[in-house]
Chains A and B, each alone.
Chain A
Amino acid sequence: MTASTLTPAQRVAALEAAAREPGAEAAILAALEDPAASVRERAIKRAARYLEPSVLGALVADGANAVRRNAGLSALDRQGPYAVPHLVGMLGGQDPELLLFALQSLSRIGHAAAAPAILPLLEHPDPNVAQAAIEATGKLRIQEAVPPLCGLLQRDLWLQLAAIAALGDIGHPDAVKPLMAFVPDSILAEPAVQALRRIAAPESLEPLVPLLFSVRERSLRDPVLLAVAVVIDLHPDPEPMLRRMERDVVVDGGNLATYLGQLLEAPPGEGDADESDSLLRAAATVVAAAGIAELQPVLLARLARDAASQWIEGLFTRFPERLTGRLAELLRHPDQDVRCGALRVGFFSPGDVSAVIGHLADPHLPVRTAACHALGRVGLDATAPLLLERLRNGEPPEQAAAAHGLAGLSPEVLGELDGCLEPGTAEAVVVEALGVLARTPVPGLEPRVLALAESRSPGIRLAALRAASRVPGSRAEVVLMRALADRHAPIQAEALDLLVRRGGEKSVTTLVAMLGTADSLRFHVIRALGHCRAQSAAVRLRDLFSQCGPHEQLQIVSSLLRIAPAWLPQFLLLRLESPDLDMRRAAAQGLAEGAGHEHLPVLRALAEDADWDIRHSAARGLGRLRTAETRDLLLTLARDVESVVAATARAALEQSQAAVSSAA
């Protein structure tokens, strides 16, 4: 069978086989020009791993063969930091096309070390090269480029546009003033505002806000609104500007409010959904931050009506004072959604409680539910009877909200929950009441809680176990341990988690004793001992290892990693010799997490392992050590055929670089 008659899958297999033999370079180079995309993609991965950047650079220089050129560029991109020195070297060349490719590749790789070589090219006589250099400064966020880029704002249109975008990408506040010079009366006003939005510097709030009132054309007003909203979001102290804005809205004659109102009430699905959503959020930010009274009800109603608009709650929480003086009026609003929204976001002091209580009898369930939540936020013990009443007699959402509110009160006023735990009470009420006790234990109700842990209903048993886990003393521990043998597997697993969270040497002793049973629960017991970080169980787990099946063995390794006994590295090194790949993977992962300099020879060997997951662990371990030798190994892993390995190695190199920079 000749190469031309092989299927793409067969050609990929042939490439993989050839890549392991002498003369692999020729096979890889040939495959880079294969007619099938799937074969070329595989060849690019191999080329990135096994060919030197100079060889790939020669492919890029071959202007007569676009397939080779594209393949060479893709492989250089994949090499990442390994290719950077070569690409930086290319920036010293004369061929504008190659300069362009090198700049674009460096931009994609994202390596800031290239900055000194890029900056001189901002003034390159070839406009395409200059533009690529400008774009590269933006992609690489080269701060030193800000002054020369500001200088380029006076050049021809294409370079201006590129410079504006790059300044936005870099995000330095020094660019605010030069960019504002284009707004509002320039054809570059819109890109300049978009750049200001990306910079989001506090300095831009003062010049941008007046534009929100004065600019009427949507093509510019929308970007201004988006920019203002982002700046408000990130501003450390927007208050002075917002107060001024609140006053300006009053004298604006409703123009800005009309514009924002249209955005808030736009039906979904009109035009570009992402753009509409961004504008909606920006308008909501301005309304909440500047306290635009006529639009607050619209925003509150939207919060109550639309499950996808819960983010509005955060806006009012950030600017509570904008709502405070108007809360009473909003709570009387005829629209139930407005009342509901106001109850959900309002800040109520103990003195405001009477305004909230009335809504516990509102005809609309969401309003009553929001009132329960509001009372819970106040946290006034005197409201306990009201919340208890809703817990007993409300509908499920009210019951949950009332339970949530009750959990925030003092244990002294929760004794009345006893009535919710009596035999014959509806299961939903019992479960919610137990939920309160799981968050706020009440000593007087402990016997009742422990008794309910034996209930016939799995739902009540589960809730009671959660509450019991907060009860001190050995009786509660016995209840939890008995639940490990519950006939419902989810309750067994929950009991185990609760015991782990509860901690304590007695729990560990019991769990260790349970290692002697060889039933399906033992797997969970091994896991639980790991979560308890039970030092006293480490030796027992190690001794158990040889008697277990593979799933328990892997769990033992995981648990020992959490416990971290002193002898763990030796244990893991032994596991690395296992014939089972997954055991070796688990061991390699463990060694990577706790790697010290003494493990460098092991990590070096793991970095050359045939299995990608083991190489990935090696990359993580090497990243922790940060020595000159690990850097070379990481550079090789950074061009690994498996993207996930390469990405981890690159991240490790970047962290290492950042550590060096910060130390310097």
Chain B
Amino acid sequence: MPVEASKSRTASGHKGRHRIGSDREKVHRLFDLKGEQAALQFATKSGLDPDTVRRWLGSFAKSSRAAKPAPPARISIRDLQKISGEAIRGLRGPTPIKSGETTVALLIPLTAADPYRLAAVLGQAEALAKSHDAAIDDVALAQFGDVDPVNWSGEEVRKLKGGRGRR
């Protein structure tokens, strides 16, 4: 019985996924109600670890995405006349345009980055950077052209935005 009670407490929060009143539940609720920015602001004010919050938001976004039909692997000339910009951006990558059975062109969608996946890549890059001396790497890269000595981290960007770029 105690196990049941504990399970029920765990599952009774927002969308049955969180403990009621937990930070994660509050962030998820805000994310669904007011969007990513509001959730991030709340998390920052609450002093939550930014990497943890980024991971949470990634999982909330994933679960909130409605199941979409798979984008077509090919598009006919006739379909091309009807397809929307949004549908084109939703293509998985270069897509053949077919006239009958003949491929007459390749459509390359300009797709926006997934901010959560990108944040995960950036997290790894920052973690790896900790074990390297940036100044030594800057010297090695100088043979290819000017190297920006500034680390444009999230904090540095916030500073620049705060001062509106007097740096």
Binding between chains A and B: no
Residues of chain B whose beta carbon lies under 8 Å from any beta carbon of chain A = none
